[in-house]
Amino acid sequence: MRLIIMPDPDIALRLAASEIASHMTSSRHPVLGLATGRTMEGVYGHLAALHERDGLDFSTTSTFNLDEYVGLSQDDPRSYHYYMHDLLFRHVNIDPASVHLPDGMGQDLDAECTAYEAAISRAGGIDLQLLGIGDTGHIGFNEPPSPFDTRTRCVTLNDKTREQNASMFGGDPAQVPHQALTMGVGTILEARHLLLLALGTAKADIVAKALEGEVGPQVSASAIRLHARCTVILDKASASGL
């Protein structure tokens, strides 16, 4: 694992964006695994700026997001579809047909998850998977316990996660959906490279558990330590528990 601790959050965000950009420019048809959450907002801001300022080309890039809430439509401002469109896709020259997120409005959610895995395989697998970390130690929405061989599936969200993500729902955890579709830990581990980014003091304890505690299903982010090509970017605050 390559661990990089940056002096402040903005430098960490810039580094994460430039790592993604260098993966994109080193492949003819890059396949990116994308993440959501407040931490990633700055990454997408920097990527959009790299497109605008330096001509970073998204025209041959495909993307697969980690997760989506069940029961939110694509144009619901609280959905991850909307988040991605708003923060990244509408700012860059990506082909809308190359953008993939699980459909949490599908009639048959199991079939949707199977189809999502198949689409990742058809694209040739994910080159670089971007990851945040939730307060429960989740990557994607892999709440504890999530065995490391889990695949894309429908999960029930932990109350702590619903609280953590309430800011997108008017601050009210009761408004946060109880279920989500998420890539499994096994799906994530199949990406050729992993890039986990965490910022701020609030993440210090869970980052320490993930990187230095027991490796196992109780902290799904600990699985990244089993991956041969994994980079972790932290700021000083999120690294303060190490």
The piece of 6-14, 31-39, 54-62, 103-111 that touches ligand GLP (CB under 6 A) is 31-39
Distance CA 17, CA 3 (A): 16
The piece of 21-29, 54-62, 71-79, 127-135 that touches ligand GLP (CB under 6 A) is 127-135
The vertex-193 CA angle with 19 and 238, nearest 5°, equals 65
Kindly tell me which of 84 and 133 has the beta carbon lying closer to ligand GLP. Answer: 133
Q: Which residues pair with 128 in a beta bridge?
A: 32, 193
Kindly tell me which of 24 and 210 has the beta carbon lying closer to ligand GLP. Answer: 210
List 134, 137, 184, 217, residue binding ligand GLP (CB under 6 A)? 134
8 Å CB contact between 228 and 5:
no
8 Å CB contact between 179 and 217:
no
Kindly tell me which of 30 and 42 has the beta carbon lying closer to ligand GLP. Answer: 42
Structure tokens at 48: 């959009």
The DSSP 8-state label assigned to residue 79 in this structure reads S
Binding mask 140-169 for ligand GLP (x = CB under 6 A): xx-------------------x---x----
8 Å CB contact between 106 and 68:
no
Nearest approach, Cβ of residue 230 and ligand GLP (Å): 15
Strand 153-156 and strand 128-131: the pairing is unpaired
User: What is the C-alpha radius of gyration for the chain, rounded to an integer number of angstroms?
Assistant: 16
The span from the first CA to the last CA of the chain, in angstroms, equals 14
List 24, 39, 101, 112, residue binding ligand GLP (CB under 6 A)? 39
Decide: is 66 part of the binding site for ligand GLP (CB under 6 A): yes
List 9, 30, 102, 132, residue binding ligand GLP (CB under 6 A)? 132
Neighbouring C-beta atoms of residue 4, cutoff 10 Å: 15
The piece of 12-20, 134-142, 170-178, 205-213 that touches ligand GLP (CB under 6 A) is 134-142
List 20, 36, 98, 185, residue binding ligand GLP (CB under 6 A)? 36
Kindly tell me which of 65 and 98 has the beta carbon lying closer to ligand GLP. Answer: 65
Nearest approach, Cβ of residue 140 and ligand GLP (Å): 5
Distance CA 194, CA 131 (A): 7
Kindly tell me which of 64 and 141 has the beta carbon lying closer to ligand GLP. Answer: 141
Distance CA 20, CA 137 (A): 23
Binding residues for ligand GLP, per CB under 6 A? 35-39, 66-67, 132-134, 140-141, 161, 165
